[in-house]
Amino acid sequence: MENLLTISSLNKTYFSKKKDVEVLKNISLSIKDNEIVSLLGPSGCGKSTLLNIISSLDKDYEGQVDCTSKLGYMFQNDTLLEYLNIFDNITLGLKIKKIKTKENIDYALSLCKKYGLEKFLYLYPASLSGGMRQRVSLIRTLVLKPSLLLLDEPFSRLDAQTRLLIQEDVYQIIKKEGISALIVTHDIEEAIAMSNRILFMSSLPSSITKELQIPFHNSPLKRRKEKEFSSLFSSSFNELKNASK
């Protein structure tokens, strides 16, 4: 299978006059077609730093980052613009990239129809629930036809109930669209429920301490009912605890 992303021996230090902070140490990982991988680590261990490097926002590092795929992003904050209606938010990326063609608008509309946003198109973000706003934010990304989605703690601002539903929603959409995803999170259950593989990160300077293959192929809500879910939770909890010492 083709690798969409390959990172080899990545090191990252933030340099400043006061103090240098060594954040990432010897990180290597790869993501294949149709894979959902979670990076699970404590707050402040460098997860967002790593995503910034993958997305070329940060070019100041040592090592190799080879990304052949078109990237899409989904963040903690849905970053919808309050003064634009849902349709204009969804097609904003097309406008910025100057590719708001009839064909692309039709594709955006077909995604809205497929994922139940049709009746919201002329409403403004303020009138939508947190979960629905995240769905809009995901569809806005999909309009640009990414092959690898980068998700930076996308559900951490939502209440517990909404979080479960939107995890299910996002998982189903990722699978239906046949794309891959790298999810960074500090939520153990989320990592088990959503991914094929978990990479554990230690506290600073952060390295990958373990890789765990998740034996489930069903959706997040179903996985939570599996017998093995709680033993995977316990071993992940212990791994994180040891890696954070």
For residues 4 and 184, which CB has a smaller minimum distance to ligand ADP in the complex?
184
Task: Count the residues of the shown chain that bind ligand ADP, applying the rule CB under 6 A.
Answer: 12
Binding site partner of 49, from Mg ion, ligand ADP, none, Cβ cut-off 5-8 A by kind: ligand ADP
Using the rule CB under 5 A, is 203 a contact of Mg ion? no
The minimum distance between CB 156 and ligand ADP, in angstroms, equals 10
* Binding partner of 191, given ligand ADP, Mg ion, none, CB within 5-8 angstroms per partner class: none
Q: Is the dihedral of CA 210, 223, 175, 173 positive or negative?
A: negative
Contacts to ligand ADP from residues 37-66, by CB under 6 A: 41, 43-49
* Residue 198: closest CA among 227, 166, 221, 232: 232
Site string for Mg ion, 2-41 (x = CB under 5 A): ----------------------------------------
The residue sitting closest to Mg ion, measured at its beta carbon, is: 48
165 binds, among Mg ion, ligand ADP, none (CB under 5 to 8 A by kind): none
CA–CA distance from 173 to each of 115, 138, 139, 167 (Å)? 8, 9, 9, 10
Beta bridge partners of 129: none
**Cβ-count burial of 240 within 10 angstroms (0-12 exposed, 13-18 middle, 19+ buried)?**
buried
Q: Which of 6, 26, 48, 69 binds Mg ion (CB under 5 A)?
A: 48
User: H/E element holding 96?
Assistant: helix 92-96
Strand partners, 13: 22
Q: What share of the chain is helix, strand, coil (3-state, %, to 5)?
A: 40, 25, 35
Size of the site for Mg ion (CB under 5 A): 2
**Binding partner of 21, given Mg ion, ligand ADP, none, CB within 5-8 angstroms per partner class:** ligand ADP
Consecutive H or E run containing 5: strand 3-14
Q: Which of residues 2-21 bind ligand ADP (CB under 6 A)?
A: 14, 21
User: CB 171: neighbour CB atoms within 10 A?
Assistant: 21
108 binds ligand ADP (CB under 6 A): no
Q: Is the peptide bond before 220 cis (omega within 30 degrees of 0)?
A: no
In degrees, to the nearest 5, what angle opens at C-alpha 77 toward C-alphas 160 and 185? 60
State the binding partner of 163 from ligand ADP, Mg ion, none, CB within 5 to 8 A by kind. Answer: none
**Least separation, in Å, of the C-beta of 34 and ligand ADP?**
26
Residues that bind ligand ADP in the complex, under the rule CB under 6 A: 14, 21, 23, 41, 43-49, 204
